[in-house]
Amino acid sequence: MTVRLFGIGTFATFLFSTGILALIISWVDPTSNASALAIILFFLALFLSIASLFSLLGYGARALVIQGQHPAHRVRPSLRQGLFFGIFVDILLFLQLERILAWWVAGIIILLFAVVEMVFISYDKHGATTRGTIEES
């Protein structure tokens, strides 16, 4: 996959999922019989919208901050972190929907995602030390 295809596909996913999310919010009555399906579609559209938005924002931030990294190697961490953030928001909203969200539960979830991200960062640093950098010679 090229970086251009990543950007176009992720932006198209963001627009499509945000449109679906707006339609679900405006058209579906939460007290109707179809509310279970509507809730599932709501969380799926919300996940896709947040994950694609934060993947694009993460890629843009990496492009500004890390100048020496090859553009293709910015895709993987930004997509992974966008997916993590989408899952995180969906979990928190679902727990709030079920009225079982507390600050310490959110803290544990944050720690869980931080540990998983540290494992991925550690693998990226120690698995391939020179991958993704442009060497100046």
pLDDT in tens, 33-60: 767 888 899 999 999 999 999 999 999 9
Does the pLDDT of residue 72 top 90, yes or no?
no
Residue 121 lies in a domain: yes
**DSSP string covering 72-93:** GGGHHHHHHHHHHHHHHHHHHH
Residue 136 lies in a domain: no
Q: How confident is the model at residue 123 (pLDDT cuts 50, 70, 90)?
A: confident
Rounded to the nearest 5 degrees, what angle is found at the Cα of 133, between the Cα atoms of 129 and 137? 110
Mean per-residue pLDDT of the chain: 87
Say what the pLDDT of residue 137 is: 45
Domain range enclosing 74: 3-127
Alpha-helical (H) ranges within the chain are 3-27, 35-65, 75-97, 103-127
Query: How many domains are contained in the chain?
Result: 1
